[in-house]
Structure formats: C-alpha cells, structure tokens
A and B are shown apart, each in its own frame.
Chain A
Amino acid sequence: MLVERLWAEPWRRADSVLALALILLSTVVIWAANRLPPPFFDPLGSAAVPRFVAWLLIVLALAVLGRCLLTPAALPAVDAGRDTVRPAPLTALGALIASILYVGLMQAGLLGFAPASALFIMALGALLSRGERRAFLWMIPLAIIVGYGLNYLLTGVFYIDLPQRSIFGSLFGGGGG
C-alpha cells in the first residue's frame, strides 16, 4: 500500500527516489564521520559539519517522503498531455556512454586528444542528429578541425599538456597521436 502510493505518479516516483538516495548518502556520510577521531585542536573538529549537514538532509528527505505520502492523489486529467515530448532515454544513455568511452580511451592511452576528440564529436554528433546524413557530412570536417585545431592551439600556444599517447602513434613508429 505504502509502496503503491509512493509509486503512483511520476512526481511521487521521482521524489521518493530522491528522498531514498539522500537518506542513503547521508547515512554513509554520518557513518564515515563517526569514524573520524574526536576534535583535538578546535571545538568543531572534522566530523561536526558533515554530520550536521547529513542530518539536515535526512530531515529534508523525510519531509519530501512525507509530502509524497500525504498529498492527495491528483485528478486523472491533470497529468494527461502535460509532457507531449517523447523522451529519448537511450539517446541520453548513448551520449553518456560516448563521453565515458572518449575519456576512458584517452586515459588508457589508446588515443591521443586530437583523434579521440574528432571521433567523439563525430560519434556524439551522429547520435544527436539521429543519423541525419547531411548533418553528419558537416560533422566530419568540424570534428577534424576542432579535434586537431584545439590540440594545436592548446598544446602549441597555451602549453597545456593534453594526453598525446596513442596506440596508433606507437604502431606507426611515432609517439604522438
């Protein structure tokens, strides 16, 4: 009954997940803060403020949960047609995975900044333009210009030490990417 109520409408689901996540996070923080040694230099110590903020968050999370439980159910007509846009969770997930792969490839030294950025811009651009051919054709020169241009500007002019190690560079005798 309780779970059904918390799961009844989209806003209740979102608020319930938020409240539970906050309670979980705050519990972990309080647990970690309790393991810190007591203050010895000052009256506050290292644990007091994180513990205080975590407790405040628990109280606020309980207030959110309470509102989920106590607010009367909305009329069925209210939410209908409220959000006519069909969300694209798979595209969002794809964007996230592309970003993780981009950073991961550079960190692992498989690709340098320039080729990794060019590939990432092409991949995410294709995903966001939903395979539109014309947009993708424009994306290729943009990706190359931004990837290699930024690499030149930032490393050559501003002397930022961007990841340059690339497996392709190593394979073909160079060190750079």
Chain B
Amino acid sequence: MALDLLNAFVYVFQPWPFFWVLLGTTLGIFVGAIPGLTGGMLITLTMPLTFYMDSTQALLLLVAMYVGSVSGGLISATLLRMPGTPSSIMTTFDGYPMAQAGQPERALALGIGSSLIGGLIAGVFLVLLSPPLSRWAMTFSPWEYFTMVLMAIVLIASISQGSMVKGLIAGFLGMLFAMPGLNESDGQLRLTFGFHELDDGFKLLPVLLGVFVMSQIIKDAFEINKAPVSLALGQGQVLVRLSEWRRHAVNILRSGVIGTWIGILPGVGASISSMVAYVTAKNFSKTPEKFGTGHEEGIVASEAANNANVGGALIPMITMGIPGSPIDAILLSALILHNIQPGPLLFLTNGDFVWALMAAYFVANVLMFVIMTLAVRRIAKLVTIDKAFLLPVIFVCCVVGAYALSNRMYDVWVVIAFGVIGFGLDRAKVPLGPFVIGFVLAGIFEAELRSSLQMSDAGFLGILERPIALTFLAISVLMLLWPIYQQRRQRRQPTLPETSP
C-alpha cells in the first residue's frame, strides 16, 4: 500500500499532472470564493473540456477543483457573510463577526489552517480506513438514514441563534419548499398548482442563490445607510503559529473525524459535516455562549470538517461507486464518461488511478494552503470592494449560475423569489441556515421514510429493530429537549430583568 501511494506521488509530481492539480486548486479557490459560483458548477462546466484529456489527469483536475472550491468558500464567508460555497455556511457564524471585530487575517488564517489539517486527516482515513468504514456504512438501512436526517434537522435548529422555534420553522419551511414537483415513488405531481415549471420542483442552486445571495443584496440595499464595515485585510500575517494550534488540537481532530465520517455517509454533504462539527464543538466547549460571536473554535470546527468531508466523501465513491456528496455525483459521472467503472473492483482494475487520485487529493490540500496563504489578499479584493460595485456583479453571476443550470429564465425568477423570502425571514429573525438544510434534506427524508415503511411489516414500530436508528432518534429527542431544559433551569436561577425576547 505504501509503495502504491509513493508511486502515485511520483506520478502526481510529474509536470502535467502537477499542472492540472495546481490549475484545478487555483480555479477552485477563486470560484469558491465568489458567492454564487460553486465548485459543482465549475466541475460540471469543466467536465466537457476534459473529454480529450488523459482520464487520470482529468480526474486529478476535477478533484483538485473540488478541494479548492470547498476551501475558497471561507473567504467570502469570513469577509462578506456570504458563503462562497454552501459548505461554508457555518463559517459565517463566527468568521464574519471575528472579521468585523477587526481580526479578518486571524479568522482567515484559522480557516485556511483548519482546512489543511482537516483535509489531511481525511486523507489519512481515505488511504487507511476506507474499506472497513464503507463496509460498515453499507449495513445502514433506510431507518438509519431517515433518523439521521431527522437528527440533522433538529441539530441545525438547535444551533440557531435566538429562538429554537424559529430554527424549527426555518427547517420545516425549507422542507416544505422542497415538496413541489414530481413524486418519484408514484409518479404523482404535487403542489404544482398547474405551473408546469414546477413539475421539476425548485432546484437547489437557484434556491441557495436566492436565500443566501439575493436576500443579502436586498438586505444590503435596505441597510445602505449603515456606515460600511471595513473588512479589508490589514498587514497582519495570515498564519497562525504552530504553538497556537495546540489549544485547537482536540477540536480540529474531532472535527476532522466528524467531517470524514459524515462524508462517508452517502448523500450527506460538507454542509452537514461542518454543521455537526460546529454543534459538537459548541457542546464540548467551555465557552459555548461565545459561539456565533466570532469564536475561534467555531471557525476551526467548521472549516476542518468541511474539508475533511471532501476526503471522506471520496471513500464511498471510490470503493462502492456511491456518491458521498452532490459534487461526488458529478465526479462519478466524470468517471463513467472516461470509461472507468466505479465500484468495489476499481482497486483491482484501476489501482494506479485510485492511488493517483488519493495522492492528488493530498497535494491539492497542501497547494490550497500555500495558494490561499500567499494570495488571500488578492482573492479577498474580490469581496472587499464597495458593495455598490460588488452586489450588481454578484447578481449577474447568480443569473448566469441559475440560468446555466437548465438554460431557462424560470430558475432566475426562482432566485429572485427566494431572495424576497430569505429577506422576509431574516427581518423576522428566522435563521436561513436551517431553511437551506431542510430544503436539501427533504428529499432524502421522504425517500428513506418511504423505504423504511415499505420494508417494515410493523410500520413505524420497525425502527425498534434498528439500534443505530434508535440511537439517532434518541439524540434528536435529546437535542430537542435540551434547550427547553436549559431554559427552565435558567428561569429558576435569579437573573437580571429581561430586555426583550
């Protein structure tokens, strides 16, 4: 195994493979940093351009783009509170307040360093533990997936700043907006109200662009009289000393493992990894009240986990042919287009290719760290220019992103509609993160519940036969009850008069 990996590194450091990894990482970082452009879009757009390339080099380029785009998202999340990629949502919670508080370099340095270490942790798992871990995940039944999605929704609601009720509202509202369209199980159109454009439902990218970008544009216009907060980077080092990483060691290791593990679970992307790692870090923290106010632990957890997710998500793709995230689904189609059959036999039939992919993943992570540390000021200029210059250009990018999805203006109207909805929710102090998570997970939630009920003769009681699913369910209930218990306990203690709810 070690020799295979060594040979793969020798291959990746040859001029052309290295050039493609460098190009992919750089493009990924730039695209990831620009809100409205995602790694998925970049990889999809690049895929046709790789048809004439060597298969291995083509996949190296795409994997490097994947690594770069997930990392690049932290720049706009930190400097603009607009996650460049959905996986950076959690970074906005602490990265942006920290940057606002005058420490943008430190926020970015923590994010970049955590991304590297998280990525490398996942790389180790990718090389050493992928076969046994993926075999274990394969024993999951639909009950496990269903309860895991439920747990994710409760988790995201419980981490929302302010009211948990509003967090739950956001999550379930997101789920509701994912319902229109064709129900694949029985071919029934539902909640389309006669609009044929809705037959396909609302697509993820326009909804994300609307909720996170368009709503921010409206909000910025609404608050245009506010003196602009300078988030420009100073002359401070975008590096955190090695000795300082020691106090984050446990958090970063835990988040890296969480990110890798959730990455292995099919269909659950980097957003959930960073979310679960963030909540876990908050729960283990001695200062949980600081989370959401610019706390270092929050940035570290989120960024280590979302980069680790990339490596984790590659494991089921390589070993079982199952995508670990939406971007892995695109990579999977790229494999098939290049006549490489993914699945358990891949190690036997295309061993060199698999090891090269793993080596490229490691190299892309290191290159990401070097490029972002050296060039973050230049990349940051994309997000620190005057909002009057930035917002119109961002909206044009949104239009392109949404339109290019299916070459139809309907998706652009969806962006605008969800922008208005997002702005309204924000005004009512309803968090937008759970809304998007609910929207993303609704399909998996319903499909797994349906499969569970079809497989079980005992209906909902079938869950009693699944200990892992029961554990997930118990965690969900605990997460739901914990804030209520905490609130009651706080009420019993004498406090200062409340100012407002």
Interfacial residues, chain A to chain B (CB-CB below 8 A)? 11, 14-15, 17-18, 21-22, 25-26, 29, 32-33, 36-37, 39-47, 49-50, 53-54, 56-57, 60-61, 63-64, 67, 71, 74-75, 78-79, 85-89, 91-92, 94-96, 99-100, 102-103, 106-107, 117, 120-121, 123-125, 127-130, 132, 135, 138-139, 142-143, 146-147, 150, 154, 158-163
Contact = CB atoms under 8 A, between A and B. Distances in A.
Interface in B152-186: 165-166, 168-169, 172-173, 175-176, 179, 183, 185-186
B205 interface: no
B166 A64 contact: yes
A128 B186 contact: no
A39 B186 contact: yes
Interface string B378-392: 000000001111011
A121 B396 contact: yes
Contacts of B497: 75
Given A46-B183, A78-B500, A22 B173 contact: yes
B404 A127 contact: no
Contact of B403 (A46, A57, A61, A162): A162
Given A42-B453, A125-B392, A142-B389, A60 B186 contact: no
Interface string B176-207: 10010001011010110100000000000000
A120 to B, nearest CB: 6
B135 interface: no
B253 to A, nearest CB: 37
B202 to A, nearest CB: 14
B222 A87 contact: yes
B224 interface: yes
A129 B386 contact: yes
Interface of B: 45, 48, 165-166, 168-169, 172-173, 175-176, 179, 183, 185-186, 188, 190-191, 193, 214, 217-226, 386-389, 391-393, 395-396, 399-400, 403-404, 407, 409, 412-413, 416, 419-420, 423-425, 427-430, 442, 445-446, 449-450, 453-454, 459, 497, 499-501
A172 B190 CA distance: 46
A131 to B, nearest CB: 10
B222 A44 contact: no
A88 B225 contact: yes
A150 B221 contact: no
A55 B449 CA distance: 18
B496 to A, nearest CB: 12
Given A42-B454, A96-B221, 20 more contacts: A15-B428, A21-B424, A22-B169, A37-B188, A42-B186, A43-B453, A49-B442, A50-B190, A61-B169, A64-B165, A67-B501, A74-B499, A91-B221, A91-B222, A96-B416, A102-B395, A120-B396, A121-B396, A150-B396, A161-B407
Contacts of B223: 85, 87-88
Contacts of A146: 393, 396
B459 to A, nearest CB: 7
A161 B183 CA distance: 30
A32 B396 contact: no
Nearest to B429: A14
Contacts of B191: 29, 32-33, 50
B54 to A, nearest CB: 21
Contact of B221 (A25, A44, A128): A128
6 contacts: A11-B501, A37-B188, A57-B173, A60-B165, A61-B169, A92-B219
A174 to B, nearest CB: 22
A130 B224 contact: yes
B221 A127 contact: yes
A83 B298 CA distance: 27
A85 B226 contact: yes
A73 to B, nearest CB: 10
Contacts of B214: 99
Contacts of A67: 165, 501
B500 A94 contact: no
A106 to B, nearest CB: 7
Given A37-B188, A49-B449, A125-B392, A60 B169 contact: yes
B391 to A, nearest CB: 6
A78 B175 CA distance: 36
Nearest to A67: B501
Contact of B172 (A60, A94, A124, A158): A60
Nearest to B404: A160
A152 B175 CA distance: 38
A10 B44 CA distance: 45
Contacts of B445: 49
B392 A121 contact: yes
Nearest to B425: A18
A72 to B, nearest CB: 9
A67 B487 CA distance: 15
Contact of A86 (B45, B225, B389, B419): B225
Nearest to B174: A53
A63 B165 contact: yes
Contacts of A99: 214, 217, 395, 416, 419
A120 B183 CA distance: 38
Contacts of B186: 39-42, 45-46
Contact of A88 (B222, B386, B416): B222
B172 A56 contact: yes
B176 A117 contact: no
Contacts of A130: 224
A162 B400 CA distance: 8
Contacts of A56: 168, 172
A50 B189 CA distance: 12
A25 B176 CA distance: 10
A11 B217 CA distance: 23
A147 B397 CA distance: 10
Contacts of A117: 396, 399
Contacts of B412: 103
Contacts of A138: 389
Nearest to B48: A159
A60 B168 contact: yes
